[in-house]
Chain A
Amino acid sequence: MGLPLMMERSSNNNNVELSRVAVSDTHGEDSPYFAGWKAYDENPYDESHNPSGVIQMGLAENQVSFDLLETYLEKKNPEGSMWGSKGAPGFRENALFQDYHGLKTFRQAMASFMEQIRGGKARFDPDRIVLTAGATAANELLTFILADPNDALLVPTPYYPGFDRDLRWRTGVKIVPIHCDSSNHFQITPEALDSAYQTARDANIRVRGVLITNPSNPLGATVQKKVLEDLLDFCVRKNIHLVSDEIYSGSVFHASEFTSVAEIVENIDDVSVKERVHIVYSLSKDLGLPGFRVGTIYSYNDNVVRTARRMSSFTLVSSQTQHMLASMLSDEEFTEKYIRINRERLRRRYDTIVEGLKKAGIECLKGNAGLFCWMNLGFLLEKKTKDGELQLWDVILKELKLNISPGSSCHCSEVGWFRVCFANMSENTLEIALKRIHEFMDRRRRF
């Protein structure tokens, strides 16, 4: 769990002891993934005030559709009526309501929104929705429920660096990687699954489930339907759980290219198959509202729903937030328009960045979703090792002043890949970033 054996558990000149959780470095905030953020914080790019600052391309935040939200809120909410400030029932409800079941209207709105994203190809029952303060909390909560300390979840690489912290820190659960590589666009193969499972068994570790992100972070690509079916097959055979983190499901550029695990389960009647499937969702990426802290666990397992609900007391969504968002998310006319335009804008951004990189001689993995692209700089590495990759990352941070995420922080088994976010900046800023990359590549070619 990352606890250095020799570390004192009481530090400074204080005598009193702290817990292992408190002193552990499993929070991972010393890794390059976060070090780049520090560099950005110290010298952030600003179009007018600091044009030579660090451009943050390491944060997967969606700002491309803020104007749609603003327009909607201003139009529909002239005097704060929507926010519950008017009238006795509104305020009383919000102030006192802290039931872990969550507001029914809000859960219905979430269910409806999730259905819309999947084009109606799957139905969601509002009573199976458990609310948590963000997807981070949802993933951690599910891990507490599905696995005991020292058990493992299998997670395909490359994966979101935050999982090391979210799935392991307080839970004591391990991650065993399912290695994927570029030979088949990093898709999960049955052989890789079996190999990961065996690795765990050989180390006497009990595997409790597989956790995937679909669409994938950092790949920016959807998981193929056949792979999902293979995964469910595998989980049934091993009698383990399947967790699908679908936080980027609304950010797929072409709706037809996304298959949710919910669609697969929709056609299955057998409860013993269905009840091992759980979906995580959040409004942080698709709706661009990470500050609102709204996440959800959707489970086909009654026991997991009951347990998650009770445990959600540690991470409740504020009733104010639920109230605020319930009417917006149930407004189907608005959500249909938002989802459609958001997808379109993300696709255009993606095309811009991929084309721009191509002109500089850089290839990316063919992606179709998300707020980032998966860029291949392997050909630039002096040493084809993790150190070589980190050296290049450091050069990009210090010389180009671009903070991007090295594949090694995502546990990628191939060196030279980098995740580059494109949705958390203006189009102008993206152009500047591409210009810096062009100039860098030009300079290299000359030598």
Chain B
Amino acid sequence: MRLIVPLRGVIQGRGGLFVGSLIPCCLFYFLQLYLKRRRPPPTDPTELPRTSSRTNLFSRGNSIGRVRVSSRAVPVAKPSDSPYYIGLERVKTDPYDRIKNTDGIIQLGLAESTLCFDLLQRWMSENLMESMMQSDDGEFDISSIAMYKPFEGLLELRVAFADFMSRIMGGNVSFDPSNMVITAGGTPAIEVLAFCLADHGNAFLIPTPYYPGFDRDIKFRTGVELIPVHCRSSDNFTVTVSALEQALNQARKRGSKVSGILFSNPSNPVGNILSRETLQDILRFAQEKNIHVISDEIFAGSVYGDKEFVSMAEIAGSGEFDKSRVHIIYGLSKDLSIPGFRAGVIYSFHEDVVNAAKKLMRFSSVPVPVQRILISLLSDVRFIEEYMTAHRQRIRDKHIRFVEGLKQLGIPCAESGGGLYCWVDMSSLLTSYSEKGELELFEKLLTVAKINATPGTACYCIEPGWFRCCFTALADEDIPVIMERIRQLRESSRS
């Protein structure tokens, strides 16, 4: 529609401006509007005309448009560009085997422990069948494992978990089974919490370096952003309130709404145990800003150093703070070495979060037969004590060997007291002290030394040269092999 018509009247200065030009223009506009409304809506350009012959339609070949997936699905299928995943994939192509493939790539990129398999295996062979199949009268009754049970987990399992968690966290904190929801692993636990605490487009603050898997776990489907809060080696990569404050302010300036703070304790990838004071500082900060705190304590039972582990649940329960903003994640993949079983926990002090999480468990619950096995396992106090003592001891021994081996090469590690890995400073091996230099070293480690270690870049570490090395799936004999390969790599780069 044109504006020329009314202007003409104005330009010609006719006294009958209103009658002469405005009214006809209005009529013209209204006519256009009327016609537009009456016109049938444009057909979908991608739609094909109905055909009477079905076989013709189904064999039409390229004239049919390719059906599309949602825009949120598009990035998911793309090959990952994170060195964390690239490294894991490469190991699969040529995995090291002590006997069959001594030139293969040694896996130091997966935080899993096989150190106490012998103990678990013994328990399983003695108890698996009974624990899974038994009903109250001792007869095999399939209905006890086949039928629908509450998705949030059997009460007995939640009671067993509460007791287990209390034990491994030093016995200073008790967990209430009614605040607990059992999930199919730590991965859905973190995602469900993200869905409950933040809207699409909101953000969590997260101290760096952090576990690369969080990018997927949180961002894939929830649309929640992660805002890094940078930590430095001078603080042994421990988060400070000033860093949190700065990150929050910057986020607000950008228009980002921060819903909470997410951190892991023991931390991954550094292996720090956060002190009571640090935990209190974090909770105090969250209270001031009225945001949530999510503490991922999945390595709580894998503490081998001298420092005492304190759960955020203990701080929350102290009475000093509003505990409804505190949520904890736990799971059996690390401490009990059974990631394949898929068993995790959301523990929240907020009743509505627990209720929402319970309902969301229909999408990620633990199979009933597996729950029965776990009830039996976690309630076997004698075995659990034996296992946890051995677990901690063996990690400690392996840690000492591994760190000593690196020390002899002049390669230091960050101070750590928990987790299944150490945070190694390989900056002396970098050709340039930069992200680029670090990624080059990562590639050389992978292709020349044939070692997969996770570079700090994948964990958003701001200081180049740091690598996470997981050592709990190694035999003692593997360690000198690894050190020799690193030594050779260093020699060849010098020449």
Contact = CB atoms under 8 A, between A and B. Distances in A.
Contacts of A70: 140-142
Interface stretch (B66-74, B157-165, B311-319, B392-400): B66-74
Nearest to A79: B129
Contact of B350 (A16, A148, A229, A236): A16
Interface in B190-231: 191, 195-200, 202, 216-217, 220-221
Contact of A233 (B54, B129, B143, B191): B54
Interface string B116-148: 010011001100110010000000111101111
Contact of B340 (A79, A294, A320): A320
Interface string A132-173: 011011001000111111010000000000000010011010
Given A17-B259, A275-B66, A291-B146, A268 B58 contact: yes
B99 to A, nearest CB: 15
Interface string A244-288: 000000000000000000000000111011011000000000001
Contact of A18 (B58, B142, B188, B352): B352
Interface string A89-131: 0011111111000000000000000000000000000000000
A148 B128 CA distance: 43
A149 B339 CA distance: 32
Contacts of A380: none
B340 A318 contact: yes
B200 A149 contact: yes
A184 interface: no
Interface stretch (B296-304, B353-361, B410-418, B454-462): B353-361
Interface stretch (A59-67, A354-362, A367-375): A59-67
A294 B145 CA distance: 13
B449 to A, nearest CB: 25
Interface string A412-435: 000000000000000000000000
Contacts of A275: 66-67
Contacts of A319: 340-342
Contacts of A320: 340-341, 367, 369-370, 373
B364 interface: yes
Interface in B461-477: none
Nearest to A29: B359
B340 A144 contact: no
Contacts of B46: 238-239
Contact of B57 (A15, A69, A96, A236): A236
Contacts of B62: 272
A148 B72 contact: yes
A324 B367 CA distance: 12
B18 interface: no
B411 to A, nearest CB: 29
B367 A318 contact: yes
A304 B66 CA distance: 13
| Residue of A19, A301, A315 most packed against chain B (CB within 10 A) | A19
A80 B124 CA distance: 10
Contacts of A268: 58-59
B146 A21 contact: no
B364 A307 contact: no
Contact of A96 (B77, B114, B147, B363): B114
Nearest to B342: A318
Contacts of B44: 238-239
Interface in A297-334: 301, 303-304, 306-307, 310-311, 313-321, 324
B325 interface: yes
A55 B460 CA distance: 57
B156 interface: no
B292 interface: yes
B364 A16 contact: no
Contacts of A240: 67
Contacts of A80: 128-129
B142 A316 contact: no
A186 interface: no
B59 A270 contact: yes
A57 to B, nearest CB: 15
B142 A146 contact: no
B184 A61 contact: no
B337 to A, nearest CB: 6
A92 B114 CA distance: 9
A238 B341 contact: no
Given A11-B352, A315-B363, A95 B338 contact: yes
Contacts of A19: 195-199, 202, 259
A349 interface: no
Given A69-B142, A290-B146, A313-B187, A318 B341 contact: yes
Contacts of B221: 144, 170, 311, 314
Contacts of B353: 18, 22
Given A151-B70, A291-B145, A272 B338 contact: no
Contacts of A321: 367, 369-370
B67 A144 contact: no
Given A83-B128, A310-B77, A237 B50 contact: yes
A88 B132 CA distance: 19
A202 to B, nearest CB: 8
A273 to B, nearest CB: 5
Contact of B196 (A22, A29, A66): A22
B156 to A, nearest CB: 14
A241 B66 CA distance: 10
Contacts of B176: none
Contacts of B350: 14, 16, 18
Contacts of B60: 270
B41 interface: yes
Contact of A303 (B69, B112, B217, B369): B69
A106 B340 CA distance: 14
B341 A270 contact: no
Interface in B62-85: 62, 64-67, 69-73, 76-77
Interface string B176-191: 0000000011011001
B322 interface: yes
Given A137-B363, A314-B187, A320-B369, A208 B70 contact: yes
A161 to B, nearest CB: 13
A73 interface: yes
A316 B70 CA distance: 22
Given A63-B143, A229-B54, A313-B187, A146 B366 contact: no
B389 interface: no
A79 B128 CA distance: 10
Contacts of B220: 310-311, 314
B188 A288 contact: no
Interface in B364-379: 364-370, 373
B64 A144 contact: no
A86 interface: yes
Contacts of A134: 362-363, 365
14 contacts: A19-B199, A21-B196, A22-B353, A27-B359, A85-B129, A96-B112, A96-B114, A133-B364, A237-B49, A272-B62, A272-B64, A293-B365, A311-B220, A318-B342
Given A85-B129, A92-B114, 9 more contacts: A19-B259, A66-B143, A95-B339, A169-B360, A233-B54, A272-B65, A303-B77, A321-B369, A324-B369
Interface of A: 11-12, 14-23, 27, 29, 59, 61, 63, 66, 69-70, 73-74, 79-80, 83-86, 88, 91-98, 133-134, 136-137, 140, 144-149, 151, 166, 169-170, 172, 201, 208, 229, 232-233, 236-241, 268-270, 272-273, 275-276, 288-294, 301, 303-304, 306-307, 310-311, 313-321, 324
Q: Please list the 4 inter-chain residue pairs (A to B) with the smallest Cβ-Cβ separation, ordered nearest first.
A: A291-B368, A319-B340, A80-B129, A85-B128
